[in-house]
Chain A
């Protein structure tokens, strides 16, 4: 799917000579065996070897690397822990990978101001661990939070189970320090509630490393709720479970987490985590309530009432913290659990309006037959974010191609149902064709203009996130407005 990029041709010797002027030997990887671990991120289906990997230790080195690459016209792909799932950190064959792994310090935790200043290579969970002694935590919790870094979270606008109530990364980052491709440093956002000028943090967060390199992030910390409790409800019918999600919201309840697993997913995880899931249920809902003990008791009672009215066949409420964690263990371990029952799986990330859940699930069931592949479904049901896990075997000829087509069809249906091709994983290289489905030419052109405002030479993570118009034309889904001639900007037409 990734074709060679003729736009760049790097003189490696010249690049290395320049980098060696300021990077000590242990900060520059060049040998193939050293580069190999960087050939892909969490989406292993797409791989590319970079020419070099830079591991800077100071912001001054980051600035020098970017200036060097800018002056030599070398593409730069910034990378955190590499847990991304859309190939956003896949290297460029003519470029360098700029790893921020050594920017791993928590610079400040301010208890009174409820914020933490961290370097981009700090792991998501480490922020909450550092804040815990103050009764605070960092709310966005991607499933990979034990490994993924804040810089990566900013690049992808990562989410997680708690997004429904506490928001995405964009709602929880206060300030970002950025180095431009020209090596210029600027700070956007503020420890104050807003900053002068355009809301640039909103633009940077989720920009997939295309606009600048992040060297410092200030995040908001929130008080840790006194108590969290989870209700687990079984449904004999997936549509009823979907309706129950809507009924909870309609009742004026915004749970701390509202997740759903279908039968294929529970069948995969139960032997793995032994959470006590109802193996007969067609769908299981997990609904978490957090707050003061009084508040949680009140909300759990209301949620239980709604779930009963929505036709739940069984309802259980966690009676201890250990039980709550066990209920969640399966949902959190769904990916590795599915990984145990199939040689490979392909995790998708579409978002749809909640009320179309049942429709989407039955469409996915039909696609399983069409493509001859099984699919387990886990979702952030509360915000309509689906994670179908398409199971395949990479060693079987044709399997990956069918999995890829299966995934593409899910994403395109997500858009048709009024949703998006990505809720929290990003576009990266993976969904770049589907961007042509979600957005029409004028928007894609506008995205390119935004990109050029930050990175005129197009050296930051080229080929990701925003497709070229040429690519959309080849994908054949270019929207045509007002009967205009098809793709007049392309010579081949």
Chain B
């Protein structure tokens, strides 16, 4: 599918007020609310448009598989530092639309922090260019970053430019035995020190810590922190990034984003802790009290996402935390600014738009 095809498909959907369901590889069909509308399959709009290793950016069409992008970057010793999950065949467009980041997010930042520019087909079929290919650009509103995590509700991401970073020279993984509360305490203590911690993962009494950076820095931190080292760290971190680790095998699976110092909410089913304590995974009963999970997360200053659950449940209770009225009204107006007929992925983010 060429860009012109996407534009004309959206234009005619706009004219006939036909809801569209934007789809790349479909690797995140499990995520978010309702999957509704005629499928607009953009997977064939693919290919790397530009890659400049010394400028630290890559530009690719939305349907380009992340695997293809990462292979090209690896040839030059570079990477997507936010370590997005591939879930099989994820595309770069879907990666930005979903806004999901992997283990390195605690050190490097999230998807949105690496978005430099997007080509967006809005809900009227208009082609819009936001941002660009340079690191620093503050001309106009930063619409490209807002697109990250907007689940296709503001436009079809036709092309995206991401900042890339060099791969760290050295990496080591350490393992510590401790309970969840102790893991949170340690992670926050370490987080306040100049240590090259690039990922953390707690599950079932074990805390895994990845150190990345200059060889000397990794060696010095290893000596300081102690712990035991492990034999297959890459496999381990990949299983967390791709959520194939047994910790994620639960339905429904809740994702709680919390201040890193927040204590463990009084909920059953803690499965894992990531991102220096700021991301907690919970398994909840299907007929359980979903409101209790939301309230617990909110009372600690964060929010809960009904991450992996049957679609019927995600549509009934909402996948994402409810917005306060003033913010919901603002979301509606923003949605309207880009998609006046409300045809793009309706209900995928919030039932209201």
Contact = CB atoms under 8 A, between A and B. Distances in A.
Interface stretch (A65-73, A310-318, A436-444): A436-444
B231 interface: no
B334 A453 contact: yes
A194 B52 contact: no
A205 B113 CA distance: 13
Interface in A205-223: 205-207, 211, 223
Given A254-B165, A298-B215, A446-B338, A206 B193 contact: no
Contacts of B134: 351-353, 383-384, 418-420, 423
A308 B227 CA distance: 40
A203 B142 contact: yes
Contacts, number: 264
A371 interface: no
Given A450-B141, A450-B334, A197 B327 contact: yes
B260 A113 contact: yes
B318 to A, nearest CB: 10
B116 to A, nearest CB: 10
Contacts of A294: 214, 216-217, 219-220
B126 interface: yes
A166 B78 CA distance: 18
Contacts of A202: 112, 142, 145-146, 148
A186 B141 contact: no
Contact of A196 (B193, B220, B323): B323
Nearest to B154: A198
Chain A contact residues (Cβ within 8 angstroms of B): what range?
Answer: 35 or more
Contacts of B278: 192-193
Interface in A133-192: 134-136, 156-157, 159, 163-164, 167-168, 170-171, 180, 184-186, 188, 190-192
A167 B142 contact: no
B140 A249 contact: no
A466 interface: yes
The bracket for how many chain B residues form the interface is 35 or more
B77 interface: yes
A418 B131 CA distance: 11
A192 B110 CA distance: 12
Contacts of B166: 249, 252-254
Contacts of B56: 249
Interface in B123-163: 126-130, 132-143, 145-146, 148-150, 154
Given A351-B136, A446-B128, A110 B261 contact: yes
Interface in A408-459: 418-427, 431, 435, 438-440, 442-443, 446-447, 449-454
A465 B220 CA distance: 48
A292 interface: yes
B198 to A, nearest CB: 14
B17 interface: no
B320 interface: yes
A247 B189 CA distance: 37
A321 interface: no
B55 A355 contact: yes
Given A193-B275, A454-B330, A292 B138 contact: no
A207 B141 contact: yes
Contacts of A199: 99, 112, 145-146, 148-150
A442 B191 CA distance: 44
- Residue of A113, A206, A224 with most chain B CB atoms under a 10 A cut-off: A113
A420 B132 contact: yes
B135 A383 contact: yes
B138 A112 contact: no
A157 B145 CA distance: 13
Given A197-B327, A291-B194, A447-B141, A384 B135 contact: yes
A241 to B, nearest CB: 14
A102 interface: no
Contacts of A324: none
Contact of A112 (B128, B140, B192, B334): B192
B49 interface: no
B334 A196 contact: no
A107 interface: no
A186 to B, nearest CB: 5
Contacts of B330: 186, 200, 453-454
Contacts of B301: 190-192
B140 A427 contact: yes
Contact of A351 (B130, B135, B188, B350): B135
Contact of A205 (B142, B167, B191): B142
Contacts of B126: 442
Interface of A: 110-114, 134-136, 156-157, 159, 163-164, 167-168, 170-171, 180, 184-186, 188, 190-200, 202-203, 205-207, 211, 223-226, 246-247, 249-250, 252-254, 291-292, 294-295, 297-299, 351-355, 380, 383-385, 418-427, 431, 435, 438-440, 442-443, 446-447, 449-454, 465-466
21 contacts: A156-B138, A157-B138, A168-B136, A188-B327, A191-B302, A193-B275, A194-B149, A194-B257, A199-B99, A202-B146, A203-B142, A206-B138, A249-B54, A352-B134, A384-B55, A384-B136, A418-B132, A418-B134, A420-B136, A446-B338, A447-B141
Shortest 5 CB-CB contacts between residues of A and residues of B: A294-B216, A252-B166, A423-B136, A202-B145, A192-B302
